[in-house]
Amino acid sequence: MRTTGNALFDKLLAPRMTDNRPFLRTDNGEQVSFGDMADRAQRWAGGLRALGLEPGERIVVQAAKSVECLSLYAAAATAGAVYVPLNTAYTAAEVEYFVDDAAPKLIICDPAAEEALAPIAHKAGARLLTLGANGEGALLRALADANIAPTPAPTPRDPEDLAAILYTSGTTGRSKGAMLSCANLISNSETLAAAWRFSEADILLHALPIFHTHGLFVATNVSLLAGGSMIFMPKFDVDKAIAALPNATAMMGVPTFYTRLLADPRFDRALTKNMRLFVSGSAPLLAETHRQFEARTGHRILERYGMTETNMNTSNPYDGERRAGTVGLALPGVELRVVNPETGAELVDGETGVIEVRGPNVCKGYWRNPEKTAEEMRSDGFFITGDLGYREPDGYVTIVGRAKDLIITGGLNVYPKEIESAIDELPGVAESAVIGAPHPDFGEGVVAIVVAEKDGDQDEKSIIAALAERLAKFKQPKRVLFVNALPRNTMGKVQKQLLRERYNTLLQ
């Protein structure tokens, strides 16, 4: 195979440039072969360069999941650009922060968002183009107008060059951009394809969004690397998933997918007889869900653990015990240790502490944020995940909580400080505390506990309404409760653990 010098293209697309087997199959019957995807990536990459996008420059994408949107990711990699996907639920006010931080040359958005994002793009000096769920919009017209002929070769990119910036949430401050190199993405894809036994015979049911690691870099890159095809669904829909499962061999999902399938009586052993693997991640999977799933289908879900900054760190084994309630063993090439959160000293097996990881999967740091990089990357190369857990003597890892109060709802990260700041700015509010409470569908739901000012006239409905235009829907509280005072320790710190215990069953 002739190499082009572009690390991602050479690994994921070049080996299958003449492969006419279907890579993508959509709900409406559209098919795109491996060869077509490779050809489109090269042609569109030439178009992106003709639009002025230089290697290393950022392209911010907030667009609906589609074949065209996935092709844009492949084209950006082929052009040597740095891909910056954003959650489609983010409001214009939220997008403005990411644009200011990433300083992109090009912004791609849904046609419906063009008016709201145009001033933001203008302020940033970026070109704004549109891409709709059905391929409509100005982007494809602009690429066609570039009329690149003959198709240019991929732009050379070394393994250590940046491939993407993915913004991740913490519990304080603003989102940070994790810098992922070509080598980060390649190494994790190779590890997972081998660990989960993916091959050309596989057909992956892909119902995940493609604006974060799980759907974009795990599901898509593993399928490309292994030469397996995908049933590419715009979003998870129980009826469509049930219709597609007999034609699939594997599925990657978040716990919400599996709880919704289990709630449907059609989901049974007969429906899943052709399946060989169900993978779950992005949020903790309840042990009870494991048991119900096995009883219903005969399959044991394979749970794994990863982060935006690290891709995948651990996985229950393909062959061997898939232990309910754990996230399995450290993946090959990944070192994992559990340390005392105060001293950083490594703990013995069985003791709970902060999980740290080191390996080729770990990002290069945070974009334009050397202070945060220094805080979370140790000098010996270990990344401080902020997750609390312990390792059993046989290597299985269990996550017991988060050192910071991060909320994971439906597989998406929410940091309480952002919600609290928005609530505290409302008239009649003295202060607030935001926690995650167990939710039967989303894993966790956002709950706000509010202390009203004397004579304040806010109520639950008014606060939720006020937040609707300021925050993405997944960040909005599912309940707002009012109390006379927040519980505090002797240092004045709000004791969120007490609040979580008090409202543990509120959303169930």
Give all strands (DSSP E) within 217-328, no chain letters.
Answer: 229-232, 250-253, 277-280, 302-307, 311-315
Question: Are the C-beta atoms of 3 and 75 separated by less than 8 Å?
Answer: no
Q: What single-letter DSSP state applies at residue 10?
A: I
**Rounded CA gap, 120 and 126, in Å?**
9
Per residue of the chain (508 residues), what is the pLDDT tens digit? 568 899 999 999 999 999 999 999 998 888 999 999 999 999 999 999 999 999 999 999 999 999 999 999 999 999 999 999 999 989 999 999 999 999 999 999 999 999 999 999 999 999 999 999 999 999 999 998 886 766 788 999 999 999 999 998 543 457 899 999 999 999 999 999 999 999 999 999 999 999 989 999 999 999 999 999 999 999 999 999 999 999 999 999 998 899 999 999 999 999 999 999 999 988 778 788 899 999 999 999 999 999 999 999 999 999 999 999 899 999 999 999 999 988 999 999 999 889 999 999 999 999 999 999 999 999 999 999 988 889 999 999 998 766 667 788 998 878 787 888 899 889 999 889 999 999 999 999 999 999 998 877 889 999 999 999 899 999 999 999 999 999 986 445 688 888 998 999 999 8
pTM for this prediction: 0.85
**Rounded CA gap, 377 and 366, in Å?**
10
**Rounded CA gap, 311 and 183, in Å?**
12
Residues near 318 by beta carbon (within 8 Å), at least 6 away in sequence: 195, 196, 197, 277, 302
**Rounded CA gap, 122 and 235, in Å?**
31
Residues near 499 by beta carbon (within 8 Å), at least 6 away in sequence: 433, 435, 449, 486, 487
Distances (CA, A) of 492 to 173, 299, 335, 488: 20, 49, 38, 5
- Percentages helix, strand, coil for the chain (3-state, rounded to 5) are 30, 25, 40
HEC string for 174-206: CCEEEEEEHHHHHHHHHHHHHHCCCCCCCEEEE
The structure tokens listed for 333 are: 């090439």
Among 383, 378, 208, which residue's Cα sits nearest to residue 307? Answer: 383
Domains of the chain in start order, with CATH, are 7-157 (3.40.50.12780), 186-402 (3.40.50.12780), 407-502 (3.30.300.30)
Q: Please provide the size of the chain in residues.
A: 508
**Rounded CA gap, 30 and 96, in Å?**
34
Strand 250-253 relative to strand 277-280, pairing: parallel
What's the distance, CA 477 to chain centroid? 21
